[in-house]
Structure 1
Amino acid sequence: MGTPTEPTGTLERHQSLDVLRGFALVGIFAANIYVFDLEQLGEVEASFQALTIGLADAPFAVFTALFILNKMMALFSILFGAGILLFTDRVGQRQLSLGRSYYTRNLILAGIGLLHGLLWFGDVLLIYAVCAFVLYPVRGWSTARFSLAGSVVWSAVLGASFWSGTPGIAADTVLRALSMMLFGMALYRSGILTLKRSIKWYRTYSRRFLGLGLPVCAIGWGLYDVNESISSMIHNLGVPFVAAGYICLVMKLLLRGAIPKISKRLSAAGQMALTNYLLQTVLGTIFVTGINEVRGERLTVVWMMIITLVVWMLQLSWSKPWMERFEYGPVEWLWRSLTYGKAQRFKRRLLQL
C-alpha cells in the first residue's frame, strides 16, 4: 500500500465541523488576548489577579470568564479529536498507508508547535500532536468507550485543578486536551457533530447543557475569593457541559439556516484554522505590546475587547475570499504537502460553464 498523495477533497468536508472550528477559533482569541503580553506561563495567574477592573471593564471580564475561558479551548480540542477520526476514516477507506500518513502529519504538527512556542508560550499545537500519538491506537473504539475514557481523564483533571487551585490556568493542559479529544471522538462517532440529529434534539440538549454548565461555572467563579481550589474544581466541572451546549446550539442554528452569512465566514475561518491560529499570535502580540508601549501601562479589559473585535473582523473578512480562491490556507497547504510528500494543488479550480 502506498502513501496517499491527494488529501480529502474540499467537497467532502463536513461544513458543521468547519463552522464549529471557526466559532471556537474566535473564542480562543478572546481568551488569549489577556496573556499575549506575558513572557511565560508562570506569570498568567498573577496577571489576571493584577487586572484593574473598572466599571466599563466589568461586563467584558465577566463575559470572558463565564462564556469563554476554557470553554472555547475545550471546544477546539473536541474538534481536534473529531478530526482524528475524520482523517483516519477517510485515509483508511482508501486502503492507503494510514499509520505512516497519520504519524507524519502529527510529527509535522509537533514541529509547527515547537516553532510557535518560540514565539509565544501559550502554544497548544505540540500538546495536540502528543495527544494524537496517544489516541491513534484507540481509534476503533465505540462511542461508549470514548465517552467513558473521556470521563475518566476529565475526573483526573478535576482532581488536579482542586489541588492546584488555578481555575482556567492549570498545569494539566495535556490531560485537559486529551479528555476533550476523547469526547470529540465520541461525538463524531455518534453523528452529533455532523448534523445527524434533529433540530428538536439539538435545541433540547443545547438548553440542557448550557442550563447546567453555565450556572456551575458561575458558582465556581463566585467562590474564587473564598477557596481557589474548590472554585477551580467547580468551574472545570461545568466546562464540558458548556462546550457541548455550544455545539448543540450551533448545530441547531445551522439546521434552521438561521445564520447563513456568518456561518459561511466561520466555515472559511475554520477551514484555515491552523493559519488563523498562528496569525492570532502574531496580531495579538503586535497589537497588545504595541498599545501597551504607546499608553505606558498595561491594557484595560475594554482595550483588550476592542483588539479582539478588530482581529475577529480581520480574520472573518479575509478567510472567506481566500478560501474562494484557494484550496487551503497557506499553513494548511504546507502541512498537507509535507504530510503527503507532494505539493498539493493550491489554487482552486474554477468551474467551466
Structure 2
Amino acid sequence: MTATGPSRILTLDAVRGIAVMGILLMNIVSFAMPDAAYVHPLALPPVSDGDLVAWGINQLLFEGRMRGLFALLFGASTLLVMARADAAGGSPVATHLRRMAVLALFGAAHFLLLWEGDILLHYAILGMVLWLARDWPVDKLVRAAVIALSLHSLYWSFQIGGALMFQAMATGPDATPQMVAGYRTMLAGFPGPGSPAIVRDLAIYTGDYAGIVEHRLSDKLWTPWELLKVLGGESLGYMLIGMALMKSGLFTGEWPRAAVRRVMVVAYAVSLPLLALLTCWTVASGFDRIVIMGNFIAWAVPLRVLCALGHVALAVLLVQRFAASALVARIAAAGRMAFTNYLATSAVMTTIFYGYGLGLYGSVGRAELYWFVAAMWAAMLLWSRPWLDRFRYGPLEWLWRSLARGRIEALRRS
C-alpha cells in the first residue's frame, strides 16, 4: 500500500481515532470549567485529592500530547491528500487550499456557535502554508519542525523567565511599593484561584445560548489569533513532524518494528522522567501561577513532543499487532470520522455543561469529568463503524469534501 494509493491506511486511521478520543481527556476541562482551570488545578475549588491525581496524570502523559498528536496527524493527512490529488491528475496545491478554506469556515462556525476552544480554524490557518513543504525531504521537514518548536519554546521561556525574575525582586526584602503593585498587576494576568475571569465564566456559561454567543462576538472574537501566538509554533512543528513521518513510511508499515519500538523506548525514557520533575516542581512551588504557565507554554514543550512521538510509536505497534481485532476496526472507524466526532463532541459536551442544556458547568469535579469522557468514547466507538458500513464518509467529512470540491459527492454506499 502506498501513500498515494486510494486505499485507506489502517494505521493512520486508527492513530487518528486514538487522537480524537484522547484530545477529550484535556478538552473536557474546558467544556466543564472556567478557562483558568485548564491551566491551574486549584482555580475552581473545592479540589479533592482525586482531582489533583487526575491533573497530575494528565500533566505527565496527556497535556499537550493529544493536541500535538492531532496536529501531527493533520500534517500527515494533508500530505496524503495532496499526494492523492497529484496521482489523480488534479492540482495538489489548489485541492489543499480549497480544503483549508472550507475548514476555516467550519472552524469559525464552531468557535462562534458551539465552543471557543476550537482548534480547526487554528489548523486551517497554519495549514495554508503547509503546501510549501510538500516536496521537502524528510530531513528538511524535521529540521524545520525543530526550528519552529525551538523558536516557540525559546520565546516563551524568555517571557516567563522575565516574569520569574520580576517575582523574585518584587517578593524580596528590597522590593519597593511600586514593584509590589506592578507584580500584583502582572500576577492577575496569570490563571489561578480568585481570578475575576472565573466569576465571569461561571456567570456566562451557566446562562442562555444568546448570551454565550454574544460574549464570543464581543469579548472572544480575537481568541483564534491569540491562539496562533500562544500555540502556533508548537502546532506547526507537530504538523511538519507528521509530514516527515508520513514520508518516511511510519504509517504505511515501512518502518521495522524494532525501529518503532526503539523510538518509543527512547522517547519515553527521556521525556517522562523530566516531565515528572516539572510536575513535581509545580507542586513544590505551591502551584505558583508563573511556574504553571511556564511549564504549560514553554519548558515542557520539547518534552511533550518527545512524549507524543512515544505515544505515536506505541499506537503504531499496538495497531499493527492487533490489526485484525474488532476494537482496532472501531477505533479506525472513529478516526475516519474524526472531523464529525470532534464537532459532535463539542455539541454533546456544551449541551451537557452549559446553561442552555443541563447546566452542569462548574459543578462537576475534575476527576468525575472522566465518566463523561468514557461515555463519549463509547458513543464514538459504537456509532462510527455502523455509519461507515452504510456510507462512504462521515456526515461532516462528506460535507467538507463536497464543499471543497464544489460538487455533491456520493455518500451512500452502492
Q: TM-score range by the shorter chain?
A: 0.7 to 0.9
For 2:320, the aligned partner's letter is L
* Corresponding residue of 1:305: 370
Do the aligned partners of residues 192 and 295 (structure 1) sit closer, same or farther apart at CA in structure 2, a change above 3 Å counting? closer
Cα deviation for residue 50 of structure 1 reads 2.8
Where do 4+ consecutive residues of structure 1 move more than 6 Å?
290-296
Q: Give the Cα separation in 2 of the matches to 1:295 and 1:283.
A: 13
Higher relative contact order (CA closer than 8 Å, sequence separation 6+)? 2
In structure 2, the partner of 1:18 is 13
Please say which of residues 259-268 and 316-325 is displaced more in the overlay.
259-268
Distance 1:259 1:250, change over 3 A: farther
Pick the structure with greater CA Rg.
2
Give, in whole Å, the separation in 1 of the partners of 2:267 and 2:382: 31
Q: How far, CA to CA, are the matches of 2:359 and 2:91 in structure 1?
A: 54
Structure 2 counterparts to residues 16-165 of structure 1, below 5 A? 16-37=11-32, 44-45=38-39, 49-118=43-112, 119-163=114-158, 165=160
Deviation of 1:164 after TM superposition, in Å, equals: 5.0
Letter of the 1:77 partner, please give it.
Answer: A
**Deviation of 1:34 (Å):** 0.3
The offset of 1:44, in angstroms, is 4.6
CA distance in 1, matches of 2:39, 2:153: 18
One-letter code aligned to 2:243: M
Is the contact made by 2:75 and 2:239 (CA closer than 8 Å) also made in structure 1? yes
Q: Which segments of 5 or more consecutive residues in structure 2 lack a partner in the other structure?
A: 161-189, 192-225, 286-290
Q: What amino acid sits opposite 2:122 in the alignment? A: I
| Counterparts in 2 of 1:259 and 1:95: CA distance versus 1, 3 Å | closer
Q: Is the 8 A contact 1:222 1:231 kept in 2?
A: no
1:144 shift after superposition: 0.5
What is the aligned length?
A: 340
Could you tell me whether the CA contact under 8 Å between 2:353 and 2:359 is conserved in 1? no
Give the Cα–Cα distance (whole angstroms) in 2 for the partners of residues 172 and 219 of structure 1. Answer: 23
Mean CA deviation greater in 95-104 or 76-85: 95-104
Residue correspondence of structure 1 range 318-333 to structure 2 within 5 A: 318-333=383-398
Give me the CA root mean square deviation. Answer: 2.7
Specify whether residues 241 and 162 from structure 1 end up closer, same or farther in structure 2 by C-alpha distance, changes over 3 A only. same
| Residue ranges of structure 1 left out of the alignment (5+ in a row) | 1-7
Counterpart of 1:195 in structure 2: which amino acid? Answer: G
Return 243-252 or 209-218, whichever deviates more.
209-218
> Which one-letter code corresponds to 2:402 in the other structure?
S
TM-score (norm 1): 0.88
State whether structure 2 residue 314 is matched by structure 1 residue 249.
yes
CA contact (8 A) 2:39 2:293 kept: no
In 2, Cα distance between equivalents of 1:10 and 1:280: 31
Once residues 149 and 32 of structure 2 are traced to their aligned partners in structure 1, the CA distance between those partners, rounded to angstroms, is 30
TM-score normalised by L of structure 2: 0.76
> Could you report, residue by residue, the CA deviation over 1:5-60 in whole angstroms, capped at 9, with x for unpaired residues?
xxx99961111111011101111111000011457x67754676335431333332
